[in-house]
Structure 1
Amino acid sequence: MSVKNELDFTELLKQKLEEALTQRGKVNILIAGKTGVGKSTLINAVFQGSLAETGDGRPVTKTTREIEKEGIPLSIFDTRGLEISEYSNTIQELEKLIQEKRKSKDPNQHIHIAWVCVMEDSRRVEDAEINLVEMLDKYIPVVGVITKSVGDNGFRQTVQELLPRTRNVVRVLAKERILDGGYKIPAMGLETLVDITMNLVPETQKNAFAAAQRVSLNHKLQRAHAVVAGAAAAAGGFGAVPLPFADAVAIIPVQLSMLAGISAVWGLPLSTAFLGSLVSGALTGSAGTVVGRAAVGALLKLIPGAGSVVGGVINAGVAATLTTAFGEAYIAALSLLTKDNPGKIPTAEEIRDEFLRQLKVKKKEIKAG
């Protein structure tokens, strides 16, 4: 795209947000298990948005509903009916659904992974679960999830033996359990389940899964750092042929793409108002139109001695360094705000204020280095 010295900030923000959403994509997870196995509790413990409390979802078969919520890049296909004697009909309906989804050329329409839930208290794996896993394994990776786990006593090994086509079996207690006498058993296994799932979903769905889950800060960090690395490479490409300062506004869209991309993989609410407030506060201290040279000048202040660039040129090293510093400051801000609760959605003001503090920290680090 051609970049004018005076950027149409609102239009540029809108474009970059749309690109970030497209690149993030969507992940679709099938969760199956008998009534009472604890699927709703598991869904709400792992994912943003209290998905299992948003209504009945949209029926897609007689026994399966699709649950989704605006702003969360995830669909849950919640399957019931395994406890009835005609469970084979449920499995056949599911197979048709998966096959139909796979016909789409859009990978965001596919079902990407399945969690098959068995309650630990039951101490049983029945034909319904065995036949379901055998069918699912033909199309997608399957993870066995032992729910309401408080005492293994060899049950995980039993599940592994009876469901050999699962990629892994995870014991999970989705929320703290209080026993008689007040003894508390803490929630466990959720991070392991998230780690395994992240490894198994397609690469094109990993950003969406990182954004949708609320358990692991590490996965949000990994995906966000990858966004920064890509942006730094792009900015360095702009500076491969040194840019006159007057033309250096060309790197501003890279910064906007980066901030939108980080926000997307972190699972933050994405809007032009949010991103505009963030960028304007960090670069110019005001909202509205970002003046190209002023924006570049604000970025260059991150690099000691960069004032000498004004009137001169910006090379690849400077472009990549300031992009990395800008992106890593944003990640540091989000990390500090969510380190104790990866599912927390900070306010726009909290993010902007912490971002400004972290930009100052990055400037000191660059100067010291």
Structure 2
Amino acid sequence: MYTTQQEQLSHERDAIEEAIRNAIKGAGKVNILVAGKTGVGKSTLINTVFRGDLAETGSGRPVTQNTQEITKPGHPLTILDTKGLELKDFAEINETLEKELRDRAADFDGERHIHAAWVCIHEDGRRVEEAEINLCNLLGSYKVPVIVVITKARNDQNFSKEVRDVIKQACEVVRVRAVTEEIEVDEERILLPVKGIDDLIAATAKYIPEAQQRAYANALSSKNLEGLKQKKKQAEREVNMAAGLAGTAAAVPIPFSDAFALVPIQVGMLTKIGITYGMEVSTAAITTMVGSIIGSSAATLIGRAFVTNALKLIPGVGSAAGGALAATTAVALTKALGAAYIAVLHDFCEQKPGAELDIELITSELKRRMKFS
């Protein structure tokens, strides 16, 4: 039974929309617990590392007596902001927090787990409190990776070594200064630049599960070099996975099968890369972006697939030869499209660090680089 051209186009549109929906569903979520005394600089740190000023504009929801869940629509990051480490009734707070940890750890949904914890300690205090040690021990007992963040770092004086010695559960100890500070030394004003943020991003990435890596990359601000590095690394993974799928689909010995199969694979790849680079996880925004790109490129991609499929129909040449060439072409096309998209997004982020992605500008530049008419 033959299908009309209109039916075929409708089928392709449905496949593309499904590919976008599946990529968005697979974007994942990452949860990071941030704890520390009042005034330790948690909000500043969160807003420096992650995009979207979560600590200021995110909606907070109480989850325990002294823990707030901070998130915002379209953002795959949830911050669990734990306060009150300096309070005398920490034992009670500890009990409610332990219940939250226990419930999340037992949940079959990995997106509810706490994937890492930052326990923040002010460097000027030069002291590790018992509450901070107890919290780290509690987190460690639930296998939450603990990163001790020494905030407002100015002069170590071996304090970081003391922290490592005292807090045995710490996977990493990182000294940071989240904003530029001005201090006076001998009546001279000295600027202390931002420090340690890239180290913190890299240290945290080591402990984020594979399933949450795309969400973590999405959440990072592009104004940090390590944030951009993490985005590019994850985006390149997406390209390699898509290229493998494209090669497999194109090698199927059924005439013209890959022409239809390739586009949804590449649409899914574009969607995942866009999410990785910080695009809001929104069906409408991503559909607009992908539709604009693929609208210009689909004819070219399917046209090239048609040429290789024609070999499958030639007696004597056989489907194996046609399939091999189709697979090589499909992999090359997918990698070229993915590499070009990463390059455009990376250039945009480098030129406009921390800015929201300009879909129209990015789409236009990608079309220019790929020479789609």
Could you tell me the TM-score, scaled by structure 2's length? 0.86
In structure 1, the residue matched to 2:212 is 205
The correspondence of residues 30-49 of structure 1 with structure 2, limited to 5 A, is 30-49=33-52
Number of matched pairs: 348
CA contact 1:170–1:189 (8 Å) conserved in 2 = yes
- Of structures 1 and 2, the one with the larger relative CO (CA 8 A, separation 6+) is 1
Among 296, 300, 321, the residue aligned to 2:302: 296
In structure 2, the residue matched to 1:367 is none
Deviation string for 1:247-295 (max 9, x for gaps)? 612211111111111112222124454444444444444xxxx9x6565
CA contact 1:213–1:343 (8 Å) conserved in 2 = no
Letter matched to residue 147 of structure 1: T
How many angstroms apart in 1 are the aligned matches of 2:330 and 2:119? 48
Letter matched to residue 352 of structure 1: T
CA shift for structure 1 position 348:
1.0
Among 191, 194, 203, the residue aligned to 1:187: 194
Deviation string for 1:301-331 (max 9, x for gaps)? xxxxx89658555611011111111111111
Out of 108-117 and 247-256, give the one that drifted further: 247-256
Change (3 A) 1:295 1:145: same
Letter matched to residue 327 of structure 1: G
Structure 2: where are the runs of 5+ without partners? Answer: 313-324
Among 126, 130, 136, the residue aligned to 1:127: 130
CA contact 2:58–2:71 (8 Å) conserved in 1 = no
Letter matched to residue 94 of structure 2: I
1:106 has 2:109 as partner: yes
How many angstroms apart in 1 are the aligned matches of 2:258 and 2:203? 46
RMSD: 2.5
CA shift for structure 1 position 231:
0.7
SS of the residue 2:141 aligns to: coil
In structure 2, the residue matched to 1:167 is 171
In structure 2, the residue matched to 1:348 is 359
Structure 1: where are the runs of 5+ without partners? Answer: 301-305, 362-369
SS of the residue 2:243 aligns to: helix
CA shift for structure 1 position 246:
7.8
CA shift for structure 1 position 65:
0.5
Could you tell me the TM-score, scaled by structure 1's length? 0.87
How many angstroms apart in 2 are the aligned matches of 1:9 and 1:52? 42
The correspondence of residues 132-143 of structure 1 with structure 2, limited to 5 A, is 132-139=135-142, 140-143=144-147
CA shift for structure 1 position 350:
1.2
The correspondence of residues 1-369 of structure 1 with structure 2, limited to 5 A, is 5-8=8-11, 11-54=14-57, 57-139=60-142, 140-180=144-184, 181-214=188-221, 215=224, 216-241=227-252, 244-245=255-256, 248-285=259-296, 296-297=302-303, 300=304, 309=308, 312=311, 315-340=326-351, 343-360=354-371
Structure 1: which 4+ aligned runs deviate by more than 6 Å? none
% same residue: 40
Deviation string for 1:134-177 (max 9, x for gaps)? 11111111000000111111111111111121001000001111
